[in-house]
């Protein structure tokens, strides 16, 4: 039954009306396909990453997923909802967890499929919690459906002004702000609103976004994430720690719960060169070896460095 809705697809604000069994709309994908699934102990969830996106963000750090199939990378592919739900619940029960997360790409473009997976999974695990990460470009109807099936939602606001949002994402900002407002008014479902801070592009609009959020509810969590050079902005510099702190403090004038992190690695204050500099980076990441000889290290089977994201490599970081 979920396939029927994709025969006249109007799930997002592009409202292409395309029959996705035969053609593609702006998102450039037909039937739902899985990039990969993973049991994320740090997030305490089973995460399902879907392919395709209705945006063309210049800075996308997952562009091989979001711009599929044009990037010519190949992934897991289609998995029937019943099969995927059984797999997810089995993994969750084995790990003692109860959260199922959907991300991408942009999961909204596969909403009927996600609803089918959630329905099957909740029949097996009634206590299941569901998370959803979105760019906010859903129709009003789709956003209402997302809220109805989810326990928590994270929504990204790329910019506040329409011209900036269009230039960055290839899409107008109004539907995103509309859905952010709707989500804020369903406060219980908000995990966080977030913005990737890109110097000289959207950094002057960050405080405006904070004011917008605060005009509805000043207690909503707002995360500022330092831009990492990627995709079409591969050579564009990321923000310094000082820049992020300044933006964070400005947002705190309006909001009660602001966090930030992910300064440009060029801003890290590390001494030395050659082997010394490389060792300093390893230590910052969590390496406990003094000579970086992994073969003789007593932590080589549970290395504390390999799982840490580079933007979290600041000992006293603000991002939680």
Rg of the chain, C-alpha, whole Å: 21
Q: Where in the chain is the domain with CATH 3.20.20.70?
A: 2-271
The mean per-residue pLDDT over the stretch 242-266 comes to 91
Residue 253 confidence (pLDDT): 98
Give dist(CA 226, CA 311) in Å, integer.
8
CA distance 203 to 219: 22
Which residue in 129, 188, 135, 140 sits closest to 11, CA to CA? 140
Indicate the range of 110-114, 247-251, 291-295 predicted with least confidence. 291-295
Sheet holding 45-50, edge to edge: 34-40, 45-50, 99-103, 129-134, 152-156, 190-197, 222-226, 258-261
Per the prediction, the chain carries an average pLDDT of: 91
Cα distance between residue 244 and residue 258, in whole Å: 11
Local confidence band at 224 (pLDDT 50, 70, 90 cut-offs): very high
Band of pLDDT at residue 277, cut at 50, 70 and 90: confident
Strand bridging mode 34-40 / 45-50:
antiparallel
CATH topology of domain 2-271: TIM Barrel (3.20.20)
pLDDT of 315: 45
User: Following DSSP, what letter does each residue of 154-167 receive, concatenated?
Assistant: EEE---SSHHHHHH
H-helix or E-strand containing 94? helix 81-95
User: 301 or 38, which is more confident?
Assistant: 38
User: In what helix (H) or strand (E) does residue 117 lie, and over which residues does it extend?
Assistant: helix 111-124
Low-confidence winner among 70-84, 206-220, 239-253, 257-271 (lowest mean pLDDT) = 257-271
pLDDT tens by residue, 113-144: 999 999 999 999 999 999 999 999 999 999 99
pLDDT above 70 for 292: yes
Q: For 303-320, what is the mean pLDDT? A: 56
- On whether the CB atoms of residues 135 and 106 are closer than 8 A, the answer is yes
pLDDT of residue 174 exceeding 80: yes
The structure tokens listed for 310 are: 């580079």
Which tokens belong to 241? 């720690």
d(CA 154, CA 191) in angstroms, rounded, equals 5
Tokens representing residue 68 in the block: 């599929």
Parallel, antiparallel, or unpaired for β 34-40 and 152-156? unpaired
Nearest 5°: CA angle at 298, between 295 and 301?
75
Please say whether the beta carbons of 75 and 105 come within 8 A.
Answer: no
Phi, psi of 34 (to 5 degrees): -95, 130
Strand 222-226 and strand 190-197: the pairing is: parallel
Q: What is the pLDDT of residue 316?
A: 39
Q: Render pLDDT for 73-85 as a digit per residue (tens, 0 to 9).
A: 889 999 999 999 9
Over range 176-186, report the average pLDDT.
Answer: 96
């Amino acid at each position: 039954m979920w396939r029927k809705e994709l025969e006249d697809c109007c799930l997002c604000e592009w409202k292409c009306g395309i029959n996705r069994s035969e053609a593609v709309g702006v998102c450039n994908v037909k039937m739902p396909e899985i990039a990969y699934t993973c049991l994320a102990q740090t997030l305490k969830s089973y995460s399902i990453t879907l392919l395709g996106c209705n945006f063309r963000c210049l800075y996308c750090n997952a562009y091989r997923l979001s711009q599929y199939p044009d990037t010519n990378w190949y992934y897991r592919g289609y998995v029937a909802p019943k099969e995927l739900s059984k797999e997810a619940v089995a993994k969750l029960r084995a790990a003692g967890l109860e959260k199922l997360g959907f991300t991408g790409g942009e999961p909204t473009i596969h909403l009927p499929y996600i609803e089918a997976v959630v329905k099957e999974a909740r029949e097996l695990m009634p206590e299941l919690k569901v998370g959803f990460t979105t760019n906010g470009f859903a129709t009003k109807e789709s956003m209402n459906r997302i809220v109805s099936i989810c326990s928590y939602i994270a929504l990204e606001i790329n910019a506040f002004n329409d011209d900036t949002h269009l230039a960055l994402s290839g899409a107008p900002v109004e539907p995103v702000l509309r859905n952010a407002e709707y989500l804020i008014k369903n406060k219980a479902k908000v995990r966080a609103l977030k913005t990737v801070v890109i110097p000289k592009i959207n950094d002057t609009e960050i405080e405006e976004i904070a004011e917008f959020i605060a005009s509805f509810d000043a207690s909503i969590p707002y995360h500022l994430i330092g831009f990492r050079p990627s995709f079409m902005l591969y050579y564009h510099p990321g923000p310094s720690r000082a820049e992020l702190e300044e933006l964070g403090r400005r947002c705190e004038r309006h909001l009660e719960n602001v966090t930030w992190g992910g300064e440009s690695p060029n801003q890290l204050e590390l001494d030395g060169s050659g082997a010394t500099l490389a060792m300093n980076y390893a230590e910052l990441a969590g390496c406990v070896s003094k000579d970086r000889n992994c073969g003789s290290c007593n932590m080589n089977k549970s290395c504390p460095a390999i799982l840490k994201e580079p933007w979290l490599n600041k000992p006293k970081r603000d991002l939680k």
